[in-house]
A and B are shown apart, each in its own frame.
Chain A
Amino acid sequence: MNKIPRLGSGVGYRDFWFQDLIETKGEATDFLEITADHFLDAPPWKIRELDALAERFPLIPHAIDLSIGSADGLDEVYLAKLAALVAKINPPYWSEHLAFTKIGGRELGHLAPLPFSEEAIEIVVKNVERAKEFISIPLILENITYGIEMPGGEMDEGTFINQALEASDCGWLLDVTNLYVNSVNHGWDPQDFMDVAPMQKVVQLHYVGFSERKDGYLIDNHGSDVNPEIRNLLKDVLERSSAKGAILERDENLPSFDKIAKELSLTREIGRSIGIWD
């Protein structure tokens, strides 16, 4: 993980911004994260889009459906396609979620939490080992939001992430919004969480705004501007970790790229003020 270069302030690629990125506004982002699944089994024009991005930006592939926590192992057809994409891009690392999306041939179509248990850690380790046989570059795993605590938990989330990353030798993609949303929805303090969690393993960050239901429950809808609470926590996280880069992860209500560029600039300034990015 130490060999991973500093990446800075970037954005999750959405094709809505393609022209902006390819033209002059591209200089606003230091790197891009691409959703790997959008380019698997894709037609030629979509692959040309990827090539055009790869010519201009460092790209980090972010997978969403490998299901690294599935107790019945990995979907190796998906894994082989993912490995081919990663080989084509040649990034310094790739990322997935500390979660599961499928089991027994059925697919949720959504990230589901693992129980915070020893058995889940063993499964993650086994699946990561298999994934490494296909993709040898470092893997970083992301903490997700969860509305339900999966039965069978034996420890808190911070300890679980710590032990799972340590045992699987993976880095951490710390999603700041997920951390904040979980802390409010499950009633704990993000600072306490960071005391237990493996901050030294953080490689990259995700952040975006959240929405709030009438009952106070927070939703990481990936469609809101970055809230002040997230911006503050992002600063705390950057001060306590040595993240190589941060990705603004906007999927819905996509604003103009000018607005995105301003958000990226604010994040870059935080990283520079702390002295972790150039």
Chain B
Amino acid sequence: MGLKETQSQFVKLSLDDFERRKLYANRSAHSTSSFAPLEKEIQTQARSLINKRLGVVRKILWGTNSFLGKEFSIRFRQFALSSTEPKGLNRHRLDALAFADNLTERTKQRAYPKPLLELLSHETIPVRMWMGNRRFALRFHKHRPHDLYRMIEGGECISKVPRKPVLMLWWQGKGKKRGYFWRELSPWLY
């Protein structure tokens, strides 16, 4: 087996749960792959790749992670096994957006409290602004992100968050300001 084939097989086995099952469940196929005796190492490699992705996505969707707790990791691992791995310089941002979409769909199916939709939207705005190099963004929310974060930090369920419509203005830092900033515009604040 040449280097290209070795590398292709390694990547395939590391990323693709189906390929791993096929190789390690079918004993008769073992003789054709030099990775056959390396099942333990390949499984460890596959798990650590998913954990690495999870670690980064957790930082991006930190409020959602705090709210969902262990469920966040469980859902992400299921998502990672069934989705195509992201590519390119923005791979972790794309990963976070795709996972946020996955959680959004599940929230719409009532797996989680509805206000999670707004938290997911709020937490993905800076990612979308980076990727689109956007200077400004506007979002309308039925609930204040501040209230959502306050409840999460207090260990309360966000399903009881008070309804306070708010227009969110986001902007990219100028001059010495680094990162993305947001302000809530709402009559509820005055």
Contacts and interface: CB of A to CB of B under 8 A. Distances in A.
A78 B89 contact: yes
Contacts of A37: 89
Question: Could you say which interface size class chain B belongs to?
Answer: 35 or more
A102 B89 CA distance: 13
Nearest to B5: A71
A43 B133 contact: yes
Contacts of A65: 89
Given A71-B4, A103-B7, A148-B45, A18 B172 contact: no
Contact of B10 (A46, A112, A120, A123): A112
B3 A123 contact: yes
Most buried by A among B12, B52, B174, B178: B178
A27 interface: no
Contacts of A43: 129-130, 133, 172
Contacts of A107: 85-88, 91
B179 interface: yes
Nearest to B38: A148
A148 B42 contact: yes
Contact of A147 (B11, B12, B34, B41): B41
B102 interface: no
A147 B41 CA distance: 7
Given A40-B89, A109-B85, A152-B1, A49 B45 contact: no
B96 interface: no
Nearest to B7: A103
Contacts of B2: 71, 119
A15 B45 contact: no
B8 A150 contact: no
B3 A152 contact: yes
Contacts of A42: 130
A103 B177 contact: no
Most buried by A among B3, B35, B41, B53: B3
Contacts of A151: 1, 6, 34-35, 38
A123 B4 CA distance: 10
Nearest to A151: B34
B49 interface: yes
Interface string A58-90: 000000010000111000001001000000000
B130 A103 contact: no
B90 A106 contact: no
B10 A150 contact: yes
Interface string B154-177: 000000000000000000111111
Interface residues of A, number: 40
B3 A106 contact: no
B61 to A, nearest CB: 17
A65 B87 CA distance: 11
A108 B35 contact: no
A45 B52 contact: no
B78 interface: no
Contact of B3 (A48, A71, A110): A71
Contacts of A100: 7
Given A43-B172, A109-B85, A148-B42, A104 B11 contact: yes
B35 A110 contact: no
Contacts of B15: 106, 108
Interface of B: 1-4, 6-8, 10-12, 14-15, 34-35, 38, 41-42, 44-45, 48-49, 52-53, 55, 85-91, 129-130, 133, 172-179
Interface of A: 15, 18, 37, 40-46, 48-49, 65, 70-72, 78, 81, 100, 102-104, 106-110, 112, 114-115, 117, 119-120, 123, 147-148, 150-152, 252
Given A147-B44, A152-B34, 17 more contacts: A18-B178, A41-B90, A43-B130, A45-B179, A48-B178, A70-B7, A81-B89, A108-B15, A109-B53, A114-B3, A115-B6, A147-B48, A148-B38, A151-B1, A151-B6, A151-B34, A151-B38
13 contacts: A37-B89, A41-B89, A49-B178, A71-B7, A102-B11, A104-B4, A109-B53, A109-B91, A110-B49, A112-B14, A147-B44, A150-B10, A252-B55
